[in-house]
Chain A
Amino acid sequence: MRALPLALKSLRNRLGTALLTAFTIALSVALVLGVQRIRTEARESFASTVSGTDLIVGARSSPVGLLLYAVFHLGDATNNVSWQSYQEVAAWPDVAWSVPISLGDSHRGFRVMGTTADFFAHYRYGARHPLEFSAGKAFDDVYDAVLGAEVARKLGYALGNEIVLTHGTGRIGTAEHKDKPFRIVGILARTGTPIDATVAVSLAGIEAIHVDWQSGTQIPGHTVSADAARRMDLTPKTITAFLLGLKSRIATFGVQRAIDDYDTEPLTAILPGVALQQLWSLVGLAENALTLISSLVVLVGLAGMITALTTTLGERRREMAILRALGAHPRLVFGLLVLEAGLLTAVGVCGGLLLMYAALAFAQGFVMDAFGLALSLAPPSMLEAALLGAVLLAGLLAGAIPALLAYRRALSDGLSLRI
């Protein structure tokens, strides 16, 4: 293979430019691959966040919004569901089980979710995996808390630790429920869903910490102690949303319509699968834009390579003439340049792959905290491998442009080059 050692040596001679070009390609490949991976992982992760739940019900709002705050703990509800309405709907003959949830507090940036012990029995994710405890059990007492795997890991908590909840969902809590600390009685095993980044407490617990927060703030002198609160009636007056499981799935549409038309209170019921699809249709535009832009970045990288190769062509006319004089066919000249382009692109592609993995490894923790999304470091999928192949092909084609120029010059120049 005559051309390969020549191409390698030729690139080594211009190592600086070559590395720079390869680096540009690497960056663009890392970008397009990263976007693709995050897109796919996000979709897979989101789609497998909740399963086995027929309907999710909340105060009237857009289905996507309800899905986002009830399941992904992103955004906030603008209104609540009254306890009476919840009780009534939960008692309908078609309903097999129901799980109420109450949102609005946080702990050191992680969302706090008030719910019942039924949550741990009925919540499923992925292929109907139930929640498992890696330590401890569900809550019993008013001030018991169960942590998601990521909360425990990031904040270094263990069973028995005490935590203080913060009012509101801001990252830095300026309004803490200091007088009513919670005790950790359970830690869940990792699920790869937003549950990992959630602190679960009982509904009674949520009521207890707000029992003296009548007008949005705690008034000194009118506080109620933790023990006193325990003895009070802690039935919630409102909840944020509730999950429903029906006795028969066929009844899903009927129950959904009944809830949507419920005249006591404006409610919305969503099928999680449908709402998810609607979410994708919204996000799809942004995704497509992102994919388009990252593809353009790759083209820019390749254009840089064409420029680099073409500008050196002028200097290399002599080289080409020498090779011609030695008996090289113009095809060799062509092949040499295409090979150089191919080598640069290949190095760029490999470098891009490494860069992407490095970036993913770096960002894994942050993304899990912020979005409850688990990014995996799995080897490239079929689609990703096809993408890399496409970039390589594009690099070879890009190299063909200066190569063709050199080829034609080699044919026509003869040996009569004037320096």
Chain B
Amino acid sequence: MPMRPVCRWLLAAMIFCTACSHEQPSSVPTATIALKTTPDPKATAEGSVAARAYAQSRGLVATTTGAVAPDKPANGDDYVELDWLKMMPKEDLDALKNPAPVQHVSRQRMAQFGTFNTVAEVTGHKIKLPGYVVPIESDDQGRMTEFFFVPFFGACIHVPPPPPNQLVYAKLGQAIKTPQIWDPYWLRGELRVETVKNQIAGSAYTMVDAVLVPYDG
């Protein structure tokens, strides 16, 4: 099929630019990725640990021993820094350390592992979370209004996606210029828990009137 000249140009530009720009870690799955067969429960459990290690190595998440320490506001800021792992209930954390064999509904369904369980203690007060922005909705001018906030950047193939209780579905009071998906940010605001309309009864974290601040380390 003859391609329109503009498409040829765009394609060439894309190839050229992809060849030149390798600063950001690529999250583009190539056509030659080997397919998984049966999802390995131990692998998925280790996945979360691996994800955390990845985030720690990038200096995103403070290293903790997993013990629950009382939260203290830092630097006179009334936003308490929250550790992502605190958003997982204890049962989930235990499950990670001792993964039980996981049942699957169908062979193809490599479920986003993890549960729709949430922890009430992290909600209802001002917190700040370090992480990355995944834009979902924008307004008529293309400015972002809703987004996911996730602990690490890049949908790496060898690590499962963040489980439902390791992400925040946030809405902004005012639309902002869409941030880069590879820049780390602080998400500030109050977490809420909302029921998820699913065949699995569950809940997930949301935030209204979220505020994003560039991550300064």
Listed in ascending order, the chain A residues whose CB lies under 8 Å from chain B are 43-48, 51-52, 54, 60-65, 68, 74-76, 88, 92-94, 104, 126-129, 168-171, 247-258, 260-264, 266, 268, 271, 273-274, 276-278, 281-283, 285-286, 370-371
Interface string of B26-50 (1 = CB under 8 A from A): 0111010001110000000000000
Contacts of B7 in A (CB 8 A): 74-76
26 intermolecular pairs with C-beta atoms under 8 Å apart:
A44-B142, A45-B142, A48-B138, A65-B14, A75-B7, A75-B10, A93-B198, A126-B138, A128-B137, A168-B1, A169-B2, A247-B198, A253-B155, A257-B112, A258-B111, A261-B36, A273-B138, A273-B144, A273-B147, A277-B180, A278-B27, A282-B18, A282-B21, A283-B13, A285-B20, A286-B17
Distance to closest chain A CB from B202 (angstroms): 9
Are the CB atoms of B142 and A43 closer together than 8 Å?
A: yes
Docked complex Cα distance between A44 and B6 (Å) = 20
A341–B96 Cα gap in the complex (Å)?
71
Contact A253–B10 (Cβ < 8 Å): no
The contact string, 1 if C-beta is below 8 Å from chain A, for chain B 163-186, is 010010100000000101100000
Known: A74-B7, A262-B108. 12 other contacts (CB 8 A): A51-B137, A60-B31, A64-B14, A74-B6, A170-B1, A254-B112, A261-B36, A273-B178, A274-B181, A281-B21, A283-B13, A370-B4
Most buried by A among B17, B109, B140, B155: B140
Q: Which residue of B lies closest to A279 (CB)?
A: B14
B interface residues with partner A (beta carbon < 8 Å): 1-4, 6-7, 10-11, 13-14, 17-18, 20-21, 24, 27-29, 31, 35-37, 108-112, 116, 134-145, 147-148, 150, 155, 157, 160-162, 164, 167, 169, 178, 180-181, 196-199, 204
Complex Cα distance, B6 from A11, in Å, reads: 45
- With both beta carbons as reference points, the residue of chain B lying nearest to A64 in the complex is identified as B14
- Residues of A contacting B178 in the complex (Cβ-Cβ under 8 angstroms): 47, 273, 276-277
Instruction: Specify which chain B residues have a CB less than 8 angstroms from the CB of A248 in the assembled complex.
Output: 196-198, 204
5 pairs of A and B residues whose beta carbons are closest in the complex: A254-B112, A47-B142, A273-B135, A253-B161, A126-B140
B6 touching A370 by the CB < 8 A rule?
A: yes
Q: How far is the CA of A282 from the CA of B24 in the complex (A)?
A: 11
Task: Output the residue of B145, B155, B157 with the most chain A CB within 10 A.
Answer: B155
Asked if A47 and B6 make an inter-chain contact with CB atoms under 8 angstroms apart, the answer reads no
A248 nearest in chain B by CB position: B196
Q: Inside 8 A of B147's CB, which chain A residues have their CB?
A: 273
CA distance A346 to B137 in the complex (A): 41
Output the least CB separation between B106 and chain A (Å).
9
| B142: A residues at CB distance < 8 A | 43-48
Q: A254-B111, A285-B20 are in contact. Are A63 and B160 (CB under 8 A)?
A: no
Q: Are B139 and A127 in contact (CB under 8 A)?
A: yes
Which DSSP category, helix, strand, loop or mixed, fits chain B's interface? Answer: loop
Flag if A169 contacts B1 (CB, 8 Å): yes
Chain B, Cβ-Cβ closest to A264:
B108
Tell me the nearest residue of chain B to A92, going by C-beta.
B109
Please indicate the chain A residues that have their CB under 8 angstroms from the CB of B108 in the complex. 88, 258, 261-264
For the complex formed, measure the closest distance between the CB of A13 and the CB atoms of chain B, giving whole angstroms: 48
A371 to B164, CA, bound (A): 38
Which of B6, B18, B112, B181 is A251 in contact with, Cβ under 8 Å? B112
Query: How far, in whole Å, are A281 and B14 apart by their CA atoms in the complex?
Result: 10
Whether B37 and A62, one on each chain, are in contact in the complex, defined by CB atoms closer than 8 angstroms, is no
Check B37 against A169 for contact (C-beta < 8 Å): no
Residues of B contacting A266 with CB < 8 Å? 31, 35
> Across the interface, which residues of A come within 8 angstroms of B150, CB to CB?
253
Given contacts A249-B169, A261-B35, A282-B13, contact A170 B137 (CB under 8 A): no
CB of A254 within 8 A of CB of B161, answer yes
Identify A261's interface contact among B27, B28, B31, B110, CB under 8 A: B110
The reply to whether B3 and A76 form a contact with Cβ atoms under 8 Å apart is yes
Whether B37 lies near A44 (C-beta < 8 A) is no
Cβ of A247: which chain B residues have Cβ within 8 Å of it? 197-198
Task: Determine if A48 and B35 form an interchain contact, defined as CB atoms under 8 angstroms apart.
Answer: no
Taking the closest CB of chain B, its distance from the CB of A23, in whole angstroms, is 30
Cβ–Cβ < 8 Å partners of A256 in chain B: 155, 161
Residues of chain B within 8 A (CB-CB) of A257 are: 110, 112, 155, 160-161
**Shortest Cβ distance from A294 into chain B, in angstroms?**
18
Residue with the greatest number of chain B CB neighbours at <10 A, chosen from A44, A47, A64, A92: A47
> Across the interface, do A285 and B31 meet the contact criterion of CB distance under 8 Å?
no
B11 contacts across to A, CB distance below 8 A: 75
Residues of B with C-beta under 8 A to A277: 135, 178, 180-181
B196 engages A273 (CB within 8 Å): no
Q: A75-B10, A94-B198 are in contact. Are A273 and B136 (CB under 8 A)?
A: yes
In the complex, what residues of A have CB within 8 A of residue B112's CB? Answer: 251, 253-255, 257-258
- Contact among B14, B27, B134, B167 with A273 in the assembled complex (CB-CB below 8 Å): B134
A residues less than 8 Å from B198 (CB atoms): 93-94, 247-248, 251
B134, B141, B142 — most chain A CB neighbours (10 Å)? B142
Question: Nearest Cβ distance between residue A331 and chain B, in whole angstroms?
Answer: 45
| Alpha-carbon distance A10/B169, docked complex (angstroms) | 65
Kindly state the separation between the CA atoms of A403 and B14 in the bound complex, as whole angstroms.
48
> Across the interface, which residues of A come within 8 angstroms of B17, CB to CB?
282-283, 285-286
User: Which residue of B has the minimal Cβ distance to A250?
Assistant: B204
Enumerate chain B residues within 8 angstroms of A268, measured Cβ to Cβ.
Answer: 29
